[in-house]
Structure 1
Amino acid sequence: MSTVQREVEQLERDRRELHRYGYAQELFRDMGGFSNFAISFSIISILTGAVSLYGYGFTMGGPAVNGLGWPLVTFFTLFVAAAMAELASAIPTSGAIYHWSHVLGGRAWGWFAAWFNLVGQFTITAGIDWSVSLFLTPLLGLEETWGNFLAVYAVVLLSHGILKHYGIRVVARLNDLSAWWHMGGVALLVGALLIFAPKRDLSYLFETGFTTTSYPYWWAFLLGLLQAQWTYTGYDASAHVTEETINPRVRAAWGVYLAVAVSAFFGYVMLAAVTLAIRDPQAVAAATNPYITAIEQALGGVFGRAMLWIVTIAMWFCGLSSVTANSRMIFAFARDRGLPGHRWLGTVSRRYRTPAAAVWLAVVVAFLFAVYAEALPIITSISTIALYVSYGIPMALKLWARARGAWTSRNDGPWNLGPLSTLVNVLAILWILFISVLFVAPPNEKTGYTFAVVLAALVLYWVAVERHRFEGPRRLGTEDELERIERALEQESLWRRTGRVAT
């Protein structure tokens, strides 16, 4: 059998499996394994999270936040990623966390998991694109004022919205390019630092005791872990695009896990090179943008700015991928009538095969949230906690289902951890509980207040409205009706398949 025939058969199996969950193949399924990995790798974006919060981490815990903190956070995050990959393999729909939680715990758990994930998705998009504006504004020679940052931020969000609405094929290629850009960008940056910058002794990377805060060092070091933990967010994107991925039970699961594992390696190399090239730690810690200062100290103004353009473009790629994941989650939840305006948000553009309304909601809410939060550490801590709480809900429900015998090895997908599954899930949940408490502590009290308000509002809304109305995942029609939906989309869409080829 030829490769083309095998892929056509796989596409048919994927379509039939989606029908089993009651959904039509509305989104355009064209992603391979690398593209699926690339979207999560791009959202993690070591050239975004580790860079934009570099100053926060360095002022909190000094060089050890990178030398010791990064591998510490990586170790526990890999447990979370492995537990999530198992679920992505078992239940391959764009609803991902929401759908997993519903299957394992019922409609109430599914609804709350969806909302936590949405809050995290909105705020991670805000954090990423706000980081782009923080770097792009000075690189463009604009004065670093709130108004200029906000204007650049709005333009960046608008560019992502337009591409996600109209350019599905372009975006698919940009996602692949993004992964190579990140890896190549890190290689260029590290190479430049190793060749041209004076370097400190390796022991500096593990030096403790440096903090510019009034907190005891051990506490400041823990708070500085936000730099690494926020970087490791958004890798649920590989699960959210399962309905656009060929053979998602295997490829989406690997996409989730490898995005974290590969980012761990490249991120540590990059952070080590930058930290060891710092000439004046006090000047870096006191700078408006410490990362820019560190690079310019090491490489000089002109060469340093050239490297910073590479970083900023990587951030832009990261934001594009984040809008993808956010819009797919909105679409999947609205498709099951879980959101106000679901008739609008749960539809796909017949011409472009994209959830256009969901794309623009993601963009608008991200803009509004940045205006509310004002400070990047607040945005990032909210997105970190919201996303990880949403990750932890289906993991905890799976442990409970296993204990009751409601979930057995027969329910696992082809990507599974076997006898290690329970231990990995327990360690993942414990880590999520730890960071959820840590990142609402001072100086991030606004995160805690925001979460308390959001949780209270969700509980009231559920009790008053949604528990009487929301039914959870639902069938969109009979087998014949699902096929009619698919045929209509194929006829009206710009993107059609002739055998394997998408034209």
Structure 2
Amino acid sequence: MTATAPSGVRPGPPDDRADAAGLAGFGYHQELHRSLGRYASFAAGFSFISVLTTVFQFFAFGYSFGGPRFFWTWPAVLVGQLLVAACFAELAARYPISGAVYQWSSRLSNAVFGWYAGWIMVLGQIVVVAAAALALQVVLPAVWSGFQVVGTDTSPLSSDGAANAAVLGIVLLVVTTAVNLLDNKVMSAVNRVGVTAEIAGAVLIVVLLFAHSGRTPAVTVHGGGGTSALLVGSFAAAYVMIGFDSAGEMSEETRHPRRVAPRTILSALVAAGVLASLLVLAALLAAPSLTDGRLGTDGLSYVLTSRLGGTLGRVLLCDVALAVTVATLAIQTSATRMLFSMARDGALPFAPVLARVSPRTGQPAAPTLVVGALSAALLLLSFASPEAWLAIGTTCIVMLYLAYSMVTGPLLLRRLRGELPSGTDESGAPLFSLGRWGVPVNLLALLYGLTMTVNLAWPRAAVYDPSGGHWYFQWFSPLFVLVSVSLGFLWRLLASPHGRTAEADPAPALADAPGAEA
């Protein structure tokens, strides 16, 4: 492989050329346009997490199982994910490459294991895109009844609501796919504006709901189910706090990624986790009633419109709709970078097409279209049954948690062998490192990730098939993982003589990272 710049690619400013030279040390030339700064990198991670999108989408579900006590699942999940994010921050400093999970796992273990991590991750990201697009259903019909174009029941757990969610989601995917085909400066500008509006809107909602609170935080220790119910209630927080690795995913488009990406991975997760926890608490304190059943069906939309009035509540819901749009855009962008990264290694079917980057826009067009089309196809499941909404939402979390564990596991083994390199970032400062806390943090991160994966995938009939008759939704997550791995195995079996993922062409060792010292 050559690292020389392809024809038609213009050399950038000196700093960009230095970043491109660092990328060349990994064997890749600069094709994606490197134009993102610190805030854009933060926005990439924050918009994937998207507090307003995910809290509004899953609040009703979490409350229906855990009651007011489900609030405590939010800080608990935040702590667990911070353990994972700290490990990822170390790797982002040492391997600032698109396809983060795939690249990291390959270099920590071997090319075959890393390929499966990337395969599971990219399929999970595609499912997350579909799940995020479905969130419009919990917002737009509450803004204007005209957005309910299928039937009359707006609940996403009803047949009408599930079908309408698919219609709105497919329209949204058309929009985000179009934006993702433009220059990444346009995509980044939309992302930054959306994230700024989301943060401002979320803070305003929290302040207004606290101002209208009629209870004390003591309600969070009363009511709700037992441990089993809280484990189910934790799905909401688990769904919110994923995707912080997107800042690492965009490393090849970020200036000074060794210095910027580790900090934005952590700051995006902390900001989103704290804001989400406050939003849940404020909603519990301000809700007109904790026992009338509305929180378990209508969720936060009910609290906003009832406490803040129809006009203001709808204005804030419009901000939530913007957050859903930007989140879907950001998640689709992250998935396209994973497809691109694997394809340029010859590690996917139709790799030459998927690895092609437009010199004019700096965007990989084929992966964008593939992600948009596959996500839209998943949304069609909502026409079959409303249970598909929850199956899609939970499956994407399972896939990402499993892929994360396929990074933290090999990283722990590397640590125990003392093989994690040191080095300096673009400013000459030491690379981000956990130091002597590395082993305990890494171990806890792995245990947390595996535990949550099992918790999320456990085939609970009361959760995934409450009406009965749809066993395949009860087992949807384990079956999706099994089918995904089987398809990956079949493709590798047929394509093993080709591509860089073959066993004869192992991934470079950690100590070979540019700027790192063993």
**Matched length:** 460
Q: What is the correspondence of 1:230-249 to structure 2 with a 5 Å cutoff? A: 230-249=239-258
Query: What is the Cα deviation at residue 345 of structure 1?
Result: 0.9
Matching residue within 63, 68, 75 for 1:58 = 63
Whole-angstrom CA distance in 1 between matches of 2:393 and 2:271: 22
Which residue matches 1:23? Answer: 28
Which residue matches 2:329? Answer: 320
Whole-angstrom CA distance in 2 between matches of 1:405 and 1:470: 30
Which residue matches 2:411? Answer: 398
- Range with bigger deviation, 134-143 or 103-112: 134-143
Relative to 1, partners in 2 of residues 1:272 and 1:198: Cα closer, same or farther, differing over 3 Å? closer
Residue 392 (structure 2) pairs with residue 379 (structure 1): yes
Query: What is the Cα deviation at residue 37 of structure 1?
Result: 0.8
Residue 111 (structure 2) pairs with residue 101 (structure 1): no
Query: What is the Cα deviation at residue 201 of structure 1?
Result: 1.9
Matching residue within 194, 198, 207 for 1:182 = 198
Residue 195 (structure 2) pairs with residue 200 (structure 1): no
Per-residue CA deviation, residues 15-64 of structure 1 (Å, 9 max, x unaligned), is: 10111111111001011111101110111111011221000110010111
Which residue matches 2:338? Answer: 329
Which residue matches 2:223? Answer: 209
Q: What is the correspondence of 1:351-370 to structure 2 with a 5 Å cutoff? A: 351-370=360-379
- Range with bigger deviation, 374-383 or 310-319: 374-383
Whole-angstrom CA distance in 1 between matches of 2:293 and 2:262: 39
Which residue matches 1:427? Answer: 444
Unaligned runs of 5+ in 1: 1-6, 212-216, 476-503
Q: What is the correspondence of 1:12-91 to structure 2 with a 5 Å cutoff? A: 12-66=17-71, 68-91=72-95
Per-residue CA deviation, residues 52-109 of structure 1 (Å, 9 max, x unaligned), is: 100011001011112x111111111100110111111111110211111111211111
Residue 173 (structure 2) pairs with residue 157 (structure 1): yes
Per-residue CA deviation, residues 93-128 of structure 1 (Å, 9 max, x unaligned), is: 102111111112111111101111111110111111
Query: What is the Cα deviation at residue 471 of structure 1?
Result: 1.9
**Paired-residue identity, %:** 27
Unaligned runs of 5+ in 2: 1-11, 155-159, 465-473, 507-518
Per-residue CA deviation, residues 375-432 of structure 1 (Å, 9 max, x unaligned), is: 3322221111111211121221122223345444469971111111111111100001
Q: Write the letter of the residue equivalent to 2:46.
A: F
- Range with bigger deviation, 446-455 or 422-431: 446-455
Relative to 1, partners in 2 of residues 1:313 and 1:410: Cα closer, same or farther, differing over 3 Å? closer
Q: Write the letter of the residue equivalent to 2:209.
A: L
Query: What is the Cα deviation at residue 448 of structure 1?
Result: 2.0
Three-state SS of the structure 2 residue aligned to 1:454 is helix
Which residue matches 2:498? Answer: 469
Matching residue within 319, 324, 341 for 2:350 = 341
Whole-angstrom CA distance in 2 between matches of 1:129 and 1:241: 21
Query: Is the 1:137–1:149 contact (alpha carbons within 8 Å) kept by the matching residues of 2?
Result: no
Whole-angstrom CA distance in 2 between matches of 1:329 and 1:285: 40
Q: Write the letter of the residue equivalent to 1:149.
A: A
Three-state SS of the structure 2 residue aligned to 1:469 is coil
Whole-angstrom CA distance in 2 between matches of 1:458 and 1:418: 36
Q: Write the letter of the residue equivalent to 1:129.
A: A
Moved over 6 A (4+): none
Which residue matches 2:8? Answer: none
Three-state SS of the structure 1 residue aligned to 2:380 is helix
After TM superposition, the score normalised by the length of structure 1 is 0.86
Matching residue within 9, 17, 24 for 2:14 = 9
Relative to 1, partners in 2 of residues 1:154 and 1:405: Cα closer, same or farther, differing over 3 Å? same
Whole-angstrom CA distance in 2 between matches of 1:377 and 1:458: 25
Query: Is the 1:37–1:256 contact (alpha carbons within 8 Å) kept by the matching residues of 2?
Result: yes
Whole-angstrom CA distance in 2 between matches of 1:379 and 1:277: 30
Query: Is the 2:116–2:485 contact (alpha carbons within 8 Å) kept by the matching residues of 1?
Result: no
Query: What is the Cα deviation at residue 456 of structure 1?
Result: 3.0
The structure with the greater share of residues assigned to helix is 1
Query: What is the Cα deviation at residue 272 of structure 1?
Result: 1.2
- Range with bigger deviation, 222-231 or 450-459: 450-459
Whole-angstrom CA distance in 2 between matches of 1:273 and 1:405: 45
Q: Write the letter of the residue equivalent to 1:18.
A: L
Per-residue CA deviation, residues 131-188 of structure 1 (Å, 9 max, x unaligned), is: 1244224433124434432221111011100011024222211222222212200122
Which residue matches 1:437? Answer: 454
Query: What is the Cα deviation at residue 289 of structure 1?
Result: 2.8
Query: Is the 1:107–1:470 contact (alpha carbons within 8 Å) kept by the matching residues of 2?
Result: no
Three-state SS of the structure 2 residue aligned to 1:23 is coil
Q: Considering only aligned residues, what root-mean-square deviation do their CA atoms show, in Å?
A: 2.2
Q: Write the letter of the residue equivalent to 1:100.
A: W
Query: What is the Cα deviation at residue 353 of structure 1?
Result: 1.3
Which residue matches 1:4? Answer: none
Which residue matches 1:501? Answer: none
- Range with bigger deviation, 39-48 or 132-141: 132-141
Q: What is the correspondence of 1:439-458 to structure 2 with a 5 Å cutoff? A: 439-441=456-458, 442=460, 443-444=463-464, 445=474, 446-458=476-488
Query: What is the Cα deviation at residue 469 of structure 1?
Result: 2.7
Query: Is the 1:90–1:411 contact (alpha carbons within 8 Å) kept by the matching residues of 2?
Result: no
- Range with bigger deviation, 81-90 or 277-286: 277-286
Query: What is the Cα deviation at residue 283 of structure 1?
Result: 3.4
Residue 140 (structure 2) pairs with residue 140 (structure 1): no
